Chains A and B, each alone.
Chain A
Amino acid sequence: MNYDMLLLRFGEFTLKGKNRNRFEKTVLTHVRSVLSSYPAAQIQKEYGRLYVALNGENASQLIEELKKIFGIISISPVVVCPSQLDKIVETSTSFLENLDLQKETTFKVTARRVWKAFPHPSQEMNHLVGSPLLKKFTMLKVSMKDPELQLRVEIREQGTYIYCEVIPAVGGFPRGSNGKGMLLLSGGIDSPVAGFTSMRRGLEVECVHFYSYPFTSLKAKEKVMELAKVLSGYAGEVKLHLVPFTEIQTSFTGLGQDNLIITLMRRSMLRIATMLAEREGALAIVTGDSLGQVASQTLSSMNVIGRTTDLPILRPLIMMDKSEIIDIAKRIGTYELSILPYEDCCTIFVPKSPATNPNLRIVESIEASLANLQTMLEEAVERTETVVLTPESMIEAAEDGIDEEWF
């Protein structure tokens, strides 16, 4: 089927009175940036929805890309025909032929006469279009209530829009429309998903990654850059802060408190993330914590760890099961990267039995005994390297002697 247009429906933000304009504008900019590689396509804006006239551009490719735009909840491919009864029936027929119905399907026609000069009112059109279709396609059974197939016919002066498919899109809030947060990005399965779900809610996300070279490899750093690059596909670009963590992490070893290492480490990470948030003007910290998943994610661990920051800690995955998180990771394209087997700072110096119920007072007194902890934290922030990743970024370790001409 050759479609003429795509109909894009906006999500829940349309309910937001005063901010609605700002939200719509953000979506529009996002759609425009996607359309820049489809020069023939044109946008027509309407109340609560957008139309994209294809003018020969590939519909299925474009749908795949537009589906990822935050704030759009669904997309329908549309065929346009002249607003004349016989043309409308003819186009509707070929539309259904194309669906190639194999089993009995409940069905109704919903016509909407936007152009009041059209001779047949909406109700009448439902019959005028529906009855020849029912005669031709024996698989169709009329059902006014919750039909499996709803053929929409919108009659306008410039032409009639016919569509039935409703392709679910990512939904959420327009990108970056709900402020900024710092995401702790480890390299595991959860944190990229936490990043994605936050971005979908309109949060602008900057990633913070801690590395402990030589205990972690350069590959681990590269992997995190790849993950951030995947996330940038949803945001246009993503900032990644790479924090050197070796010194801080090793200062927690040899204290005779190995079971608290993870707790101490997480607290320092939050402190650094908070300092970076302040510098970058972010108002929250996002983590991939999921209640009870590991020792640092028990309620008492989160209590002891979370006290190091005044910023709200957003934990989008907190009540999700691992399998649900994995499903999202696969869908957004981070799973395959996340399972690459490189050590990251969260998997080294892991004690045999990390504390699941750390004692706040002991943790605080250990930290107090480390006289230069604050200096080390500040130094780590200072030595943090920031890179901006886009979907086009080429990620390669410096001077790897690989010549793209070879391929």
Chain B
Amino acid sequence: MPTIGVNKADFYKALGREYTKQEFEELCFDFGIELDEDTSESKRPIIDGVEEAPQLKIEIPANRYDMLCFEGIAMNLNIFLGREAMPNFTLKPPSDGQLQTVTVSKDTERIRPYFSCAILRNIKFTKARYESFIALQDKLHHNLARQRTLVAIGTHDLDTIEGPFTYEALPPEEIQFAPLNQTKAMNGKQMMDFYEKDKHLSRYLPIIRDSPVYPIIYDKHRTVLSMPPIINGNHSKITLATRNVLIDITATDKTKLELTNHILVSMFSRYCAEPFTIEPVQIISDHNGQTRQTPDLTPRPTQASTTYINSICGLSESRESLCTSLARMCYHAHPSLTDSDILEVDIPITRADVLHQADIMEDAAVAYGFNSLPRHLPRTTAFTAAALPLNKLADIIRLESAMAGWAEVMPLILCSHDENYAWLNQPVPFSTNQKPVRLQNPKTAEYQIVRTSLLPGLLKTIRENKRHAVPMKIFEVGDVVFQDKGRERRSRNERHFGACWYGRGSGFEQVHGLMDRVMGMLRVGFISREEGLGEEEEEEEGAKGLKGGKGGKGEGKAGKEGLGYWIEEVDDPTYLPAHAAAIYLRLPSSSSSSSSSQPPPPPQRIGTFGILHPTVLKRFELPFPTSVLEMNVEVFL
């Protein structure tokens, strides 16, 4: 959201009265802008030895380019308050009828194809108006023009140059002029070097630097007006004394080109000797069908349905009353003569944000007052709530873990590549569907990838809590992300359960116990490896009894079928050798029907737990033994 600073005293004068802070805040609120700050009571910057006059800093909606300057905000509020009518902008060609012309060369298509122009005659600048004019161009360059990539503006003292003008594209070496506020002439290439270190201009250089031709605007005498989007020539620069202003606008986007022109002339033509008149310029651009006079000030005629507006606003306003409301929002509207539902609405050139009758409807609601609308919610149907199955599953695990005495943590999902792999002694995966999602433009090395494991976050949480009494027992149920070629987003989330025990002893049995507990609560039976693999060897009741003493419900029938898990020692570089276990899951036969023709799905390895390898502990700066657990829980859905 852009914030615009306006001189407080001048602004209230423009609104015709003084406001208390609260009164002005309420006005802004109703209109849909926001008073960010009133600098009356704060320390203000000293400019040229004088403290800046008190300002109102006003935040405006990002699509309201007609409020990017003092003049625009004042105009919109005055119209909203009914103090002014929307001005009628008119074209006023010179008395001899001879328009200034700008001929666009075909070469400009190679770099910046579109051109627009306008002249403000007999304008009277004051210091404040002049500064506002410059500031508006900056705001437009920054917002709408996306840092001058889409649109660039140049303004010139027309009395220092002479038409006809040409807009060309030339090799940089052939361009030679003294740029704004410089006395020495240089060519296009030299200028690139000259502004390389310039704090303000350097960021725009890449827009044209590597192009074989640079855009350039000349007058009749080959005086350079500007080299868009970088800099104007010094020769034609405007001053407080300038009376006739030529505005050049170049662009790669046609819509934003004319929009920029509209905003500049609608905001500043009010200072012309004949207010709100603009002198058009003839653009000759036959090669791309853009020959025309600019600017075109014709409001855009459109229609809006009274039924539509009333229906969404919950009102039953007459067409006439809606027209009155809309006039306060800059529209010229009148009831259609042929259709009893339709309003004929003229969208002024300032209101490029209006795309659909929905926008007109919203403005009608703003004029009526959002907080005065009838508040009625019709009840058309009964709704049935439903929880996401994945979240229900996660909640079971979360609650069971907390009830077992573990504390839930919520580390970040983005992490560094090393934390996720090297620090855990894990190799970078080779298979595409195991690879992490990498970020293109992180601001810090902490955010290089989307985690594929919960462990880095758990271990960092312990690291940051070393002052806490030991043992620490923490867990998280959260998503990790892997690449996945087969999907539209080329990636998939996977919900994992992770836990970490940190204390003076290893805690191996504690994470094991937590895993058993969660399995029990999910009705996953504890089975032997042989059972899991479906190997019909003799059932070792004794051994099973010993191991499975704590199994949950369903233990009885867990042996031969149904959901079951077993663990076995595994070599995993994250863990201390011989102190890590893989968790295997046997899934029940797929279909619920008893046809046993379907072979049961193969067992899945869903996770690992064990004592962390001391080298891992060292990297995460953990002095005490630590055991961790991580498993995929989506198999239990």
State yes or no: do A and B come from one complex: no
Interface residues of A (CB under 8 A from B): none
